[in-house]
Structure 1
Amino acid sequence: MAAITRLVKRTPYLPCAARFLSHAPPQKERNVQWVFLGCPGVGKGTYASRLCNLLGVPHIATGDLVRSELASNGPLSSQLSEIVNQGKLVSDEIIMSLLSKRLADGEAKGESGFILDGFPRTIKQAEILEGVTDIDLVVNLKIQEEALLAKCLGRRICNQCGGNFNVASISLKGENGRPGMVMAPLLPPAHCMSKLVTRSDDTEEVVKERLRIYSEKSQPVEEFYRSRGKLLEFDLPGGIPESWPKLLQALNLYDYEEKQSVAA
């Protein structure tokens, strides 16, 4: 945990979430310390990465940390492989070890601020995180379960460039007061098309088990941040073209993106 503590001591805090929800522009001299929550496959990585590019902070995804360790054949590789293939959650101890190393590496490179993607997943993790840093805002992404399952099963990775894509074409009719939803596939460029692979854990059985476990664990974590006034619930209305502008509006960053585009 020393690496996390050192990072916090050298990183200026952003004002609390209320600042972003009260139409105040972000201050460039400070860096956000945000968390993205949401079911596996909801799009945390996509939206967190976009916001990181916009705000100039590192995107730290615990899922990527796990996959990197799996590919490295390091000391945790075999243990992680068994856990992931069974659709179970990685233990707090392993996640904290991987996250601590990532923050230490980032500190050495001069990073400050962050958006955490996929962490914390449990109350214990949230309490540990709160003890070492001040999280400004927690964005909880939501999507209809039917669409979520289709998205997870449609995920593909280019085994050459590492790009993430999705071949699912989703069209849900609105019924019983539930709005309809249309999500176009996120197809790769032509040179990646023949190199797409499916993650070994993206099977229907494993995906459903991940969602069940996440649902059990997520409610206490959501309440943990809700009770502290830091939780922003955001229902994805569709794919990236529909959801991105509305997410920026919810974060009061829509004008900020326009100003950044003009400055560029």
Structure 2
Amino acid sequence: MAVLKSLLRSRGSTTCSSLTYIRRTLSTASETDLKLSSSLNHMSLPLRKDPKGRIVQWVFLGCPGVGKGTYASRLSSLLGVPHIATGDLVREELSSSGPLAPKLAEIVNQGKLVSDEIIINLLSKRLEAGEAKGESGFILDGFPRTIRQAEILEGVTDIDLVVNLKLREDVLLAKCIGRRICSDCGGNYNVACIDIKGENGSPGMYMAPLLPPPHCASKLITRSDDTEEVVKERLRIYNEMSQPVEEFYRSRGKLLEFNLPGGIPESWPKLLQALNLDDHEVKQSAAA
């Protein structure tokens, strides 16, 4: 089993140091976890630089339903680096009818976090496949979710930037319950219309529904884990286990916190501005 080996850089002594670090990190783990570290090798994932000359090895953090996938995917297209969402990897494994599917189905339907071992295994395989196709750099979405995962990732690669998307909890709940997927093409949509009036000096918020095209409208399905009960449990677990990851990266000066002001039309330009990429999109649009 390969463990994030596609994240390792071919830096000679640096790679050896990374292996030593991750083995030390996992020294108190179970025997199964120790097998994960022992399978690391020298394979590397080439780096990609964004238009500002920075290395694109980014992580997107945020509660379930906040929009990590939406904005990470847009930045992936803009910067030409792969967007890797561990949630998608889990769902792909679920639909594959592989040996992990029954166990994953039980975990997901209860709103619990998938174990480090499973997530790292799926992520490792995805990175290996991408490397074989010549992919470089990455935007991770959904990993790391725990301090332990963050320590493992830090042991094998240097994350350049961590974007923490934030949104009020009542809006998160409405967004998750409103999510829909086209059973035919796999497109993601949202039927929720969020319209919150500003009160006592607090700004209002409007998010229009993201409705499907006519040919998908009759084929929409709801994810099994997007019930109110499961979403609330996922948010509780996130607050309990994953928020410390924010402090982990904040203490290292890598965390960019971004409060979403509304839907995509309001938030996307401001996110680009926060990332110092707004002029790049203008130039791209002019050249198209």
Normalised TM-score (structure 2)? 0.85
Deviation at 1:178, TM superposition (A): 2.8
Identity rate of aligned residues, in percent?
79
Residue identity in the other structure for 1:102: R
Asked whether 1:91 is paired with 2:115, we answer yes
Asked whether 1:149 is paired with 2:173, we answer yes
In the other structure, the counterpart of 1:9 is: 44
The size of the alignment, in residue pairs, is: 253
CA–CA distance in structure 1, aligned partners of residues 272 and 60 of structure 2: 14
CA–CA distance in structure 2, aligned partners of residues 135 and 177 of structure 1: 37
Q: Where in structure 2 are the equivalents of 1:1-264 lying within 5 Å?
A: 1=3, 2-5=5-8, 9-12=44-47, 25-27=51-53, 31-264=55-288
Deviation at 1:175, TM superposition (A): 2.3
Deviation at 1:239, TM superposition (A): 0.4
- Root-mean-square deviation over aligned CA pairs: 1.6
Q: Which runs of 5+ in 1 are unaligned?
A: 15-19
Which has the higher relative contact order, 1 or 2, with Cα contacts under 8 A spaced 6 or more apart?
1
Alignment check: 8 A CA contact 1:31 1:57 kept:
no
Query: Where does structure 1 differ by over 4 angstroms across 4 or more consecutive aligned residues?
Result: none
CA–CA distance in structure 2, aligned partners of residues 236 and 177 of structure 1: 17
Alignment check: 8 A CA contact 2:59 2:161 kept:
yes
Alignment check: 8 A CA contact 1:48 1:115 kept:
yes
The CA deviation string for residues 96-127 of structure 1, in whole angstroms up to 9 with x for no partner, is 00000000000100111000001100000000
Alignment check: 8 A CA contact 2:7 2:45 kept:
no
CA–CA distance in structure 2, aligned partners of residues 218 and 70 of structure 1: 23
The CA deviation string for residues 62-118 of structure 1, in whole angstroms up to 9 with x for no partner, is 000000000001111111000000000000110000000000000100111000001
CA–CA distance in structure 1, aligned partners of residues 89 and 211 of structure 2: 25
Q: Which runs of 5+ in 2 are unaligned?
A: 11-42
The CA deviation string for residues 171-216 of structure 1, in whole angstroms up to 9 with x for no partner, is 1122244321011000000110000000011100000000000011
Residue identity in the other structure for 2:236: R
Alignment check: 8 A CA contact 1:31 1:114 kept:
no
Normalised TM-score (structure 1)? 0.92
In the other structure, the counterpart of 2:18 is: none
